[in-house]
Copies of this chain bind each other. A is one copy, B any other.
């Protein structure tokens, strides 16, 4: 690996990083705006979908999964509980923990929103990206996941 190729690799990585920064900022703001009003934050949506896909979990494990502080996750979940979408039950095996799960109301809401295609992100993915592009995106997400590991 010579000097010139290291240089051009560095330039390519910088260019990618620039594009990514702008894109992440835009997506972040877009997701927040779409969630505005009666809906939920991006983090809250991620939690609900995670509970749906992976079953009951604790505040701490959810915080680890999203790489945020337990206190922040707790606040997000408090709103979901207040809305009656998530409920917690003490874990009989470890009484420090509270296992959270989706309420029937939440599952019904998810059904309804899916039927009405009310989720902006998945709706836009379907509307604007071909199957081949979605496949490329999926590959890229696996690659990107490695950037935030640890």
Contacts and interface: CB of A to CB of B under 8 A. Distances in A.
Interface of A: 9-10, 12-14, 16-31, 42-43, 45-46, 49-50, 53, 65-68, 114, 119, 121-126, 128-129, 131, 133-134, 136-141, 143-148
**Which of A26, A53, A138, A146 has the largest number of chain B CB atoms within 10 A?**
A26
A17 B136 contact: no
A65 B23 CA distance: 10
A12 to B, nearest CB: 6
Copies of this chain present: 2
Contacts of A10: 114, 122, 126
A21 to B, nearest CB: 4
A99 to B, nearest CB: 20
Contact of A146 (B21, B129, B141): B129
Contact of A134 (B16, B24, B138): B16
